[in-house]
């Protein structure tokens, strides 16, 4: 099926069934059956000339992928500066459907390595980036993205009650960052902040992760100003309006003219 989809996507003009079958080295009945499956899911469309062309779903996926790539490229300089300040693992993830997906990762400079990888998807309700995104969404959007009923427990620390999660999200919105205190994975602590697009919509987030024996909750909170500043920097790079960002994202005061501009200092390297 993927071979057929690739043929249709790469063709300069719509292809006939016979041509698709020939190029894919399939019989016409087999090619037709696979094409029908792609048509039903809107990855391929049938034209009035009885040929096959790219469908709306494939175009949407292409746009989503391009957006993620662009976001990643725009975020990379700020992420690198954050990683220079903090020796733990730095992630950048974007909202994709009902999950967040890692699109950038800077490895820890410590001996321990996180098992995360680019392309990995994670739930919203129990991750630092996920909770930071949910905190700045309208209530109806949160309800749409979260599963119905009791939220799935990933660890004994996962918040599964909706009212308790709402209380946590209110705190996240006030302070500007979220904590995953061994809620998604045992023995892993994470702190993150949301990233906003040009319309002020949360589309992803920055996080710092480490084993909980290595990163205490207090130490994680001390990193918060640097992480929020990095999220703000990426948001501005994505053309967000500073005045439309949450109050917790706005600098307390502007630096004097001629002073060095950088991500606020995080914890010193240990």
pLDDT at 39 over 80: yes
What is the tens place of the pLDDT at every residue in 164-192?
A: 999 999 999 999 999 999 999 999 999 99
Cα(44)–Cα(1) distance, integer angstroms: 11
Alpha-carbon distance 25 to 20, whole Å? 8
- Please answer whether residues 217 and 209 qualify as being in contact, where contact means their C-beta atoms are separated by less than 8 angstroms: no
What does pTM read for this prediction? 0.70
What would the DSSP string read from start to end of 162-178? HHHHHHHHHHHHHHS-E
H/E segment holding residue 66: helix 56-85
State mean pLDDT over 205-230.
Answer: 96
The answer, yes or no, to whether residue 213 has pLDDT greater than 90, is yes
- Ramachandran region, residue 203 (left: φ > 0; alpha: ψ -120 to 50; beta: rest): alpha
How does pLDDT run across 92-125, given as a tens digit for each residue? 999 888 899 898 999 999 988 888 888 888 999 9
Top pLDDT among 46 and 262 is at: 46
pLDDT value of residue 267: 39
18 Cα distance to chain centroid: 41
Per-residue pLDDT at 59: 58
CB 220 within 8 A of CB 255: no
């Amino acid at each position: 099926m993927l071979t057929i989809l690739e043929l249709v996507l790469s063709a300069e003009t719509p292809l006939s069934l016979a041509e698709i079958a020939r190029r894919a080295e399939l019989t016409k009945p087999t090619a037709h059956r696979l094409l029908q499956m792609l048509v039903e899911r809107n990855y391929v469309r049938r034209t009035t000339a009885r040929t096959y062309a790219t469908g709306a779903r494939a175009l949407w996926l292409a746009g989503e992928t391009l957006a993620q790539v662009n976001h990643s490229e725009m975020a990379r300089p700020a992420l690198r500066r954050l990683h220079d300040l903090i020796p733990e693992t730095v992630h950048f993830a974007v909202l994709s459907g009902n999950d967040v997906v890692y699109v950038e990762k800077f490895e820890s400079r410590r001996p321990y390595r996180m098992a995360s990888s680019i392309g990995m998807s994670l739930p919203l309700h129990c991750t630092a980036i996920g909770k930071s995104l949910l905190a700045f969404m309208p209530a109806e959007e949160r309800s749409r993205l979260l599963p119905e009923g009791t939220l799935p427990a990933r660890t004994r620390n996962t918040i599964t009650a909706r009212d308790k999660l709402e209380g946590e999200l209110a705190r996240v919105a006030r302070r500007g960052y979220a904590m995953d205190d061994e809620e998604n994975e045992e023995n892993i602590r994470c702190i993150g902040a949301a990233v906003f697009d040009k319309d002020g919509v949360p589309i992803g987030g920055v996080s710092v992760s480490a084993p909980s024996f290595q990163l205490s909750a207090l130490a994680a909170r001390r990193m918060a100003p640097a992480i929020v500043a990095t999220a703000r920097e990426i948001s501005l790079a994505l053309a967000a309006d500073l005045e439309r960002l949450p109050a917790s994202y706005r600098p307390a005061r502007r630096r004097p003219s001629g002073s060095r501009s950088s991500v606020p200092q995080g914890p010193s390297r240990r």
